Structure 1
Amino acid sequence: MKTYHRALTIAGSDSGGGAGIQADLKTFSALGCFGMSVITALTAQNTREVTGIFPVPSEFIGQQIDAVLSDIGTDAVKIGMLHSPEVITVVAQHLKKWAVPNLVLDPVMVAKSGDKLLQDDAVTALKQTLIPLANIITPNLPEASVLLGRPVISRTDMDTAVRDLADLGCPHVLLKGGHLEETGSHDLLFSTDTGRLRELPGKRLSTPNSHGTGCTLSSAICAGLARGMDMEDAVAQAKTYITEALTAGADFSIGHGHGPVHHFHALWPDP
C-alpha cells in the first residue's frame, strides 16, 4: 500500500491559528505531508497579543511523543516553542530514544506581539541539550543575539554569527535576516560539512500579515526533508513558499493586529 510523507511538529498551540502548531500543520498539508503534533503549551492569543500561556506538563509531552512515534513514526520533526528546561530535556530524551531523523529546531523565544515565550534558564538547556541534536536551527537576529550573548543586528554581524551558531553543535544554520534595517530580507545558510555559506536573497514585503512566518518557514523546511530533499533544496523551497505565502496574504484582512500568512495560497481559489 501507499504511504504518506510524515512530519511531526512539537510546539505550542496558537488559538488564533496563525502560528504554532496550527501554522505548522497547515504548512505540512500545503506541501504534501501528513502532519502530526505534540503540544507543549496552550496559548491564549490573537493577532494582537498573547493573553495567557498554559504549559503542558513535561511528562505528558513525553507521552505524546511516544504515542506518535511508537505507532506512526515520522520522516522529519520540527520543534518550536519549548518554554522550560524540563520540557527541553524531556523532548531531547524522547527524540534520542526514537532516533528521530531530520530534526528542524526553530528556537522560538518571543511572539510577534513582543510577548516572551521562553524562560531565561531554558536558553542554556536549549544550547546544551537540543541544538546538538538538530540537523538545522533557524534563528532570527534577536534569537541569535540571545543564543550568542551579543548583539546581532547587521548584515556584517550575520557572517560571523552564523558560523558561531554552528559551533553550538548543529551542522546547518539558517540565520534569518528579516529584522535587518535594510531594503532586502536576506537569509544566510551555513553548512559545517562543506563550509559553504549561501546567501538567500529576498525582498522585504510591506504587509501587516506576518504572524507565524518563523513557524511556517521552519515547517516548510521540515516538509521538504520529510519528502526526501537535501538540506539546501529544502531550505530553498521553504524560502520560496514563505515569500509566496506572505505575498498572497498581504491583501487579506483578519483580526486587528499582525494577521497570518496565506498558507494555502496555491490551493485556495482567490475569493
Structure 2
Amino acid sequence: MVEQYPQVLTIAGSDSDGSAGMQADLHTFFRRKVYGASVMTACVAGNSYGIHDAVNLPSSFINSEFKALADDYQIRASKTGMLSDSELIMTVVENYTKYDFGPLVVDPVITTKHGNVLLEESAYQTLRDELIPLATVITPNFFEAQKLAEMTITTEDDTKLAAQKLQQLGAKNIVLKGRHDNAVQSEVSDYVLLESGEGFFLNDKFHQTDRVNGTGDSLSACIAAEIAKGTSVKEAINIAKTFVNEAIEAEINVGHKFGPINHWAPKE
C-alpha cells in the first residue's frame, strides 16, 4: 500500500520567495493530487524585485538526495528546472540514468521568456548533448527553441520545423511555447509535436499581467504530474496548458513587483 499514491520528483533550485523553481513545482504537484518529492540543486535568495544571491549545492549532496529517494520511494515521473552549470547537469544526468525515476520532463532553462540568456555556453552544450536526449517531454520557450534548433522562427512552418529539429536532439515529445513579449498580442499559440508524429497548435488568451513567475515551471510540473497518474502525454500537455492559463488569468497579489501565478485558481 505504501507505493500506491502517485509520486513525482522535481529536480530544481529552491526559490526563497516561493514563486518559481522547486516551490512552484510543489504547488503544482499538490494541486494535481500527486505526492511531490524533491532533489534540491541550488538555493536562490530572491523576492518579487529580483534575485539577490544564489548558491549551487555540492554534487556529493545531490547524489545523496537521489539515493535516499531511490531507496524508499517509487517515483513515477520527474522534471528538471534550472541547472546552472555543466557539473550540475552531469550530476543530474548520471543519477537519472542510474535510478528508475520514470519519464522525464525537461524544462530547458536557457533564456527568459523575453530572450535574456541564463546559461553559459559550456553549460548550454552539456544540457543540449546530455540531458535533452533523456527527455520524454521538453518544454522550451520561444527563444530557447530558436537557440536549440539553431534557426529563426517567424512563421508556423518555422515553428513546425524547429520542433522537428528538437526531436532530432533526442527529446520524444515537444511543447514549443509561443512568444509572450508582445505588448499588443491577444493570443498565445504553443506548438506540440508528439513522438507519433502528430503535431498541433494549442491557442489560448494572452493575459497582460506581471504575475507570471513560475509559469514554465508549473507547466512542466503539471505535465509530469499527469504522466505519473497514467495520463497520456498528449492529454497531460492539454491539461497543463489549461492549468497554467487559468493560474495566470486569476491574479494573486503577492509581492510588490513581479508576482507568482495563482496555483489555487485552476479547476480540479
TM-score by length of 1: 0.91
**Aligned residue number for residue 188 of structure 1:** 191
Q: 8 Å contact 1:6–1:76 — kept in the other structure?
A: yes
Shift of 1:156: 4.3
**Aligned residue number for residue 99 of structure 1:** 100
Q: 8 Å contact 1:49–1:113 — kept in the other structure?
A: no
The share of aligned pairs that are identical, in percent, is 38
Shift of 1:183: 2.5
1:48-197 maps to which residues of 2 (within 5 A)? 48-110=49-111, 117-152=118-153, 154-179=155-180, 181=182, 182-192=185-195, 194-197=196-199
Question: Is 1:200 the equivalent of 2:209?
Answer: no
Moved more, 153-162 or 83-92: 153-162
Contiguous gaps of at least 5 residues in structure 2: none
Q: 8 Å contact 1:44–1:50 — kept in the other structure?
A: yes
Q: Which amino acid aligns with 1:201?
A: N
Deviations 1:65-113 (A, max 9, x none): 1111221130100101111111111111111111331110001124579
Shift of 1:256: 2.1
Shift of 1:266: 4.8
Q: 8 Å contact 1:12–1:42 — kept in the other structure?
A: yes
Aligned residues: CA RMSD? 2.0
Shift of 1:154: 4.9
Q: Which amino acid aligns with 1:120?
A: E
Q: 8 Å contact 1:12–1:43 — kept in the other structure?
A: yes
CA–CA distance in structure 2, aligned partners of residues 156 and 46 of structure 1: 39
Q: 8 Å contact 1:191–1:197 — kept in the other structure?
A: yes
Question: Is 1:239 the equivalent of 2:241?
Answer: yes
Q: Which amino acid aligns with 2:161?
A: T
CA–CA distance in structure 2, aligned partners of residues 169 and 187 of structure 1: 20
CA–CA distance in structure 2, aligned partners of residues 22 and 154 of structure 1: 35
1:37-52 maps to which residues of 2 (within 5 A)? 37-52=38-53
**Aligned residue number for residue 230 of structure 2:** 228
Shift of 1:21: 0.2
Q: 8 Å contact 2:114–2:181 — kept in the other structure?
A: no
CA–CA distance in structure 1, aligned partners of residues 248 and 8 of structure 2: 22
Q: 8 Å contact 2:151–2:162 — kept in the other structure?
A: no
Q: 8 Å contact 2:86–2:123 — kept in the other structure?
A: yes
Shift of 1:152: 3.3
Shift of 1:114: 7.6
Shift of 1:51: 1.4
